[in-house]
Chain A
Amino acid sequence: MGFLDIKNATKSYGAVKVLYETDISVEEGEFLVLVGPSGCGKSTLLNMIAGLEDVTSGDIAIKGRSMIGVKPAERNIAMVFQSYALYPNMTVRGNISFGMEMHGIAKPERERKIDEVAELLQIQPLLDRKPGQLSGGQRQRVAMGRALTRDPDVFLFDEPLSNLDAKLRVDMRTEIKKLHQKLGTTIVYVTHDQIEALTLSTRIAVMYGGYVQQLGTPKEVYDNPANMFVAGFMGSPSMNLFPARVTNHDGTIAAEVRLSDGTQARLPFVSGTMAAHEGREIVLGIRPEAITDRDGADRNSSAIHIVEAPVELTEPAGSDTFVATNMGGKDITARFRADVQVKAGDRFPFAINMEKAVAFDPKTEARIA
């Protein structure tokens, strides 16, 4: 039993089911990120934990106590909203103290707590301003301050960074991570940004279509995606997914891939389990950083295979150069070192790290190996 237990929870609006049976157990101090495209049910699940939406069936428990029928205010949770939801008619001080006031905390204690939180988030100079006079980042801080005063069991974040500009988003991301390390509170965090999910979380639940597609540590989700959706969603640029055929040449099980010039490339599998799929069509998944120029390949890998393929496009991105080619009829992105001399139209040797390759069933989209 965990600190926060979601047991078989579902949510329906009339006949429309938006969240299917979901089981997640969160340990104390964990940072769980719910990530997925819009409409995947992640915000619904968060609102169910908060008590803002009813649970249609199943149970949600915090510290072993079922939260069914418990009001949001009595769950000992705190929530930071996407729009920050600061009360526009109150000062920053009023915003932070409102929750404590509602819980009947005496004024001197409230003042003490406000000062403490203001110092932690460095918002002391802003305390007597109205939310309308604050910048996006400052509002974000105040919203977190309001949540912090509660000493909650669980912190809920609903896409808190999506209204900030790109640079501020990265800064605030770091601050949230620092805050988590300092306070050690259990956090459930909703985002559609897979980078946020990977950088912040101790565990990720990737959601799509009302189902949790995969639940695991950032490394597990990134390196061993459970299905093609997770593989394509996590990581930027996203994983290359292209059709291939499993062949057996003198006992070497390999994926045979057609290149754009009509030639076939053979990529031997590392794992032995692929022998069972001999002759089958599969979808091969290889991340851009596992397709490199020869010198950029991972020296620790024992399964680097060189494939000569025509370069279709190069995209210098400063730190790397992304090179596009074509395999199995799909566009493939490879990540080259920035100073590799390569131009569109060349035939160029691509170094493919087969240790990092994964295979999916094209019909069920589930992982094979």
Chain B
Amino acid sequence: MATAPTSEVITPATGTPAPPGRSALRTHLPRVVLYIILALFCIYYLLPLYVMVVNSLKPLSEITSGGMMSLPSDWTIEPWGSAWSTAQVGVEATGLRPYFLNSLMMVVPAVAITTILGALNGYVLTKWSFRGSTLIFGLLLFGCFIPFQMVLIPMARMLGLMGLAGSVSGLIFVHLVYGIGFSTLYFRNYYAAFPTELVRAAQIDGAGFFTIFRRILLPSSGPIAVVCIIWLFTNIWNDFLFGASFSDFDSQPMTVALNNLVQSSTGVKEYNVHFAGAIMAALPTLLVYIVAGRYFVRGLMAGSVKG
């Protein structure tokens, strides 16, 4: 646009209008640069996922011939089927399906029980605090920081004594013991900001211990419950050490099975099947994040900002 200086109208009210083209560039340039950098980071982080997805959808021959980065020329979902139900995992050719189910049967009760117990603990520690409650909370917190490796042998002995060795229930128990410190911490801090007057009002209204918990506190606990569930789900689902240490062949979780699938030394390495299996193992946590992720941030921020 050619601007004739004579056409510029300068009024005292508006002052001097800046030449339009240059100022737009000046204000937008930093933003454009920023977005380019962010996009580069995005690509950098998404590249591994791209490699996994692409290679799980092509025949093995295309990978071994060196076309790891290229899109499949011959699309197939056969590696997925193989990883799910027929691939050799350890000694049996069952695919990952039974182990996926093991993981689900472990993670759902473990997360549910740990979250509910954590909420109850938080409720008692903040609203019904008793002599020594701070000490108990301190000990629970201490439990969060004990390294996994340290408890392996004592825990194995405990599970043996309780008759839970090598079972899914045993794994649930181990994860519950480890998770309860974190879930208590989350809920205690959340409920500490919960007005005690509400509990008192409910007491006067005639509500008992569990009624107050169920009717007054729990309905307001959504954000922190989501934080707790995501945290526990991710940790328990991704756990390898406990799964490898405390399970039998028929109770192995997904992570251990995936390892067995990849490490199987018979025949050729079916990379496309391995990629498919790895994605399967990662999908549930990904799903939980996508579904509940926005509550996660909201929950983490709760307490820091009022209202």
Contact = CB atoms under 8 A, between A and B. Distances in A.
Chains A and B are bound partners: yes
Interface of A: 50-52, 71-74, 77-79, 81-83, 85, 87-89, 98-99, 102-103, 146
B113 interface: no
A267 to B, nearest CB: 50
A99 B203 contact: no
Interface string B190-221: 00000101101111111100010001100110
B195 A73 contact: no
Contacts of A52: 200, 203-204
A147 to B, nearest CB: 9
A79 B201 contact: yes
B172 to A, nearest CB: 31
A39 to B, nearest CB: 18
A72 B219 contact: no
Contact of B216 (A79, A82, A87, A103): A87
- The size bracket of the interface on B is 10 to 19
Q: Which 5 A-B pairs have the closest CB atoms?
A: A73-B206, A102-B206, A99-B205, A89-B219, A85-B201
- Which has the most chain B C-beta neighbours within 10 Å: A73, A74, A79, A85? A85
B204 A83 contact: no
Contacts of A88: 198, 220
Contact of A98 (B197, B202, B219): B202
- Please indicate which of the listed interface residues A72, A73, A102 has the most CB atoms of chain B within 10 Å of its own CB: A102
B197 A99 contact: no
Nearest to A75: B204
A87 B200 contact: no
B131 to A, nearest CB: 11
Given A89-B219, A89-B220, A102-B211, A73 B203 contact: yes
B220 A98 contact: no
A79 B204 contact: yes
Nearest to A104: B206
A102 B207 contact: yes
Given A52-B204, A73-B205, A79-B200, 11 more contacts: A50-B200, A51-B204, A52-B203, A73-B204, A79-B201, A79-B204, A85-B198, A85-B200, A98-B202, A99-B204, A146-B205
Contacts of A82: 197
Contacts of B219: 89
B195 to A, nearest CB: 6
A87 B199 CA distance: 9
B203 A72 contact: yes
A131 to B, nearest CB: 10
Contacts of B216: 87, 89
B3 to A, nearest CB: 53
A303 B207 CA distance: 61
Nearest to A73: B206
Q: Which of A74, A79, A146 has the most CB of B within 10 A?
A: A79
B206 A85 contact: no
A244 to B, nearest CB: 47
A156 to B, nearest CB: 9
Contacts of A74: 206
Nearest to B211: A102
Contacts of A72: 200, 203-204
A102 B200 CA distance: 14
Nearest to B200: A52
A83 B196 CA distance: 10
A110 B188 CA distance: 35
Contacts of B207: 73, 98, 102
Contacts of A83: 195, 197
B202 A81 contact: no
B195 A85 contact: yes
Contacts of A73: 203-207
Nearest to B204: A72
Given A83-B195, A88-B220, A89-B220, A99 B200 contact: no
12 contacts: A50-B200, A52-B204, A72-B200, A73-B204, A73-B206, A79-B200, A87-B201, A87-B202, A87-B215, A98-B215, A99-B205, A102-B205
A217 to B, nearest CB: 29
Q: In the complex, which of the residues B195, B200, B216, B220 has the most CB atoms of chain A within 10 Å of its own CB atom?
A: B200
Contacts of B220: 88-89
A83 B215 CA distance: 19
A160 to B, nearest CB: 12
A50 B206 contact: no
Contacts of A79: 200-201, 204
A87 B203 contact: no
Contact of A78 (B197, B198, B204, B215): B204
Contacts of A98: 202, 205, 207, 215
Interface in B130-167: none
A187 B63 CA distance: 83
Contacts of B197: 81-83, 85
Contact of B206 (A89, A99, A146): A99
A293 to B, nearest CB: 48
Nearest to A156: B204
Given A89-B219, A99-B206, A103-B206, A81 B201 contact: yes
B193 to A, nearest CB: 13
Nearest to B199: A85
Contacts of A51: 204
A17 to B, nearest CB: 19
B261 to A, nearest CB: 46
A71 B197 CA distance: 16
